[in-house]
Amino acid sequence: MKEWKDDVKLNSFLEQYGLTAVFNEHLIKHALLCEFEQGETICTQGESAHFLYVLVSGKIKVYTTSLDGKILILSFKQPLEIIGDVEFVNGAELLNTVEAVSDSVMMVGISFEWLKRYGYNDAEFLQFLLNIISHKFYRKSTTMSFNLMYPVEVRLASYLLSVSTTKEHTVAEKLDWLDLKDLANFIGTSYRHVNRVIKQFCLDGLIEKKKGVITIKDSAGLMKMAKDNIYEQ
């Protein structure tokens, strides 16, 4: 993690996402601007939570690990997203592990110490937390329904779009970090079924797979296949 000592950049992110209306002057005074590289862990499941992080740039993935070491990816998130909100409210350990997916992930971090001192009695801040947590429950319910109602082809297309870090439909993007077992777990199907659909996507020209690495060749085609990029909602 790299901590930026740049108040201008910090304030620019706060203003961009309307956070100056959420965080009072005391909280802003103690806010930090943190940068994480691709693959870097932002927080780890089971550890004590000390910071509320606000994602303001880049993409992250959230996953949980079972006692026998199996990993289940829960979601991919883009700005504006909050990490540590439930832990702050409940005083619990971190529920999940959060990892940077894009090359650079920027977070605004505020220590729980300052949140307890200056945020507990702040109506604007508490309303902000309530909205964020409520929306997370809504997204979880929607994702579960999506996995039950749509075929694997639609789910896989949606997943690949969700992990993409570019918005252009004409740029090929290599997903060299992608784990197909994680992918299968996330969209609720078997590893073998995923491989069958991937082969079909390759034949259709949507993606390319070489030496275990998937490259998105036709994002517009995947978007048409996905119908709705549900995993980013």
Q: How many domains does the chain have?
A: 2
Report pLDDT for 231: 67
Q: Considering 146, 162, 190, which residue would you say is the last residue of a domain? A: 146
What DSSP state is assigned to residue 49?
P
Same domain, yes or no, for 30 and 88? yes
Query: Which range marks the domain in which residue 218 is found?
Result: 150-232
Q: What confidence tens digit (pLDDT) does each residue in 153-202 have?
A: 999 998 888 777 665 444 566 776 677 887 888 788 899 999 999 999 99
Same domain, yes or no, for 162 and 93? no
Q: Considering 111, 146, 181, which residue would you say is the last residue of a domain? A: 146
CATH number for the domain harbouring residue 71: 2.60.120.10
Same domain, yes or no, for 112 and 184? no
Same domain, yes or no, for 101 and 214? no
Can you tell me whether residue 217 is helix, strand or coil?
Answer: coil
Same domain, yes or no, for 40 and 105? yes
Q: Considering 102, 120, 146, which residue would you say is the last residue of a domain? A: 146
Same domain, yes or no, for 71 and 177? no
Same domain, yes or no, for 88 and 50? yes
State phi, psi for 60 to the nearest 5 degrees: -130, 160
What DSSP state is assigned to residue 48?
P
Q: What confidence tens digit (pLDDT) does each residue in 54-82 have?
A: 999 998 988 888 787 777 777 788 899 99
CA separation for the pair 132, 112 (Å, rounded): 17
Helices (H), the chain: 7-16, 25-29, 85-90, 112-118, 123-149, 152-163, 180-187, 191-203, 219-226
Same domain, yes or no, for 127 and 184? no
Calculated CA dihedral for residues 78, 84, 90, 95, nearest 10 degrees = 80
Facing residues of 60 across strands? 77, 100
The size of the chain, in residues, is 233
Give me the percent of the chain exceeding a pLDDT of 70: 93
Enter the tokens of residue 148.
Answer: 């039950």
Report pLDDT for 66: 79
Same domain, yes or no, for 86 and 173? no
CA separation for the pair 199, 225 (Å, rounded): 15
